[in-house]
Amino acid sequence: MNKFAWSITIKWDNVVDLEYDYIESINIDWNKNIFVFWETELKNYQEIVDFFKEKFGDLLNYDISIENEDKIEIFSWEYQEWLYELASFEWEQVKFNELIERFAEIPEVVSIREAETSKKFGNRVVKVDFVY
């Protein structure tokens, strides 16, 4: 099993039926944003993208981190509220382990994860997922 965290944007009229707990919101274009974190048998980024494309058709946007390709730390598997926030850290000095030290004790943080490569600095962007 691989830990994962992802947020995706799909068309507003798609019905969301996932085997994972998820948080759903509507963006300014009236499309759906979905945040999910859990464990999966899918093995890599492309399998996850293919899974969602099969389930929802076109993905308008996505941000996926999976354990066997990215550094990821999940601090809590449970949450009571359903408000999701994302903070992205992008700078030449950004260090994954330093962000873990900085945010590990904050109860609203559910995951810290590497994401895409920074176009500005060449290292990985680190994302912190909050659920309130």
In this structure, the answer to whether residues 61 and 76 fall within a common structural domain is no
DSSP class of residue 56 equals H
In this structure, the answer to whether residues 47 and 83 fall within a common structural domain is no
- What is the tally of structural domains in the chain? 2
Q: Residue 17: its pLDDT value, please?
A: 85
- Specify the pTM: 0.87
Q: Residue 15: its pLDDT value, please?
A: 86
pLDDT along the chain (132 residues), means of 10: 91 86 88 91 92 91 92 84 88 95 93 94 95 86
Boundaries of domain holding 24: 2-66
Q: Last residue of some domain: 66, 87, 102?
A: 66
Contact 96, 112 (CB under 8 A): yes
Q: Residue 128: its pLDDT value, please?
A: 96
From the list 6, 8, 1, 21, the residue with the least C-alpha distance to 64 is 6
Q: Residue 41: its pLDDT value, please?
A: 92
Q: Residue 132: its pLDDT value, please?
A: 84
The first and second tokens of residue 21, run together, are 């707990």
Q: Last residue of some domain: 66, 92, 118?
A: 66
In this structure, the answer to whether residues 57 and 8 fall within a common structural domain is yes
In this structure, the answer to whether residues 36 and 82 fall within a common structural domain is no
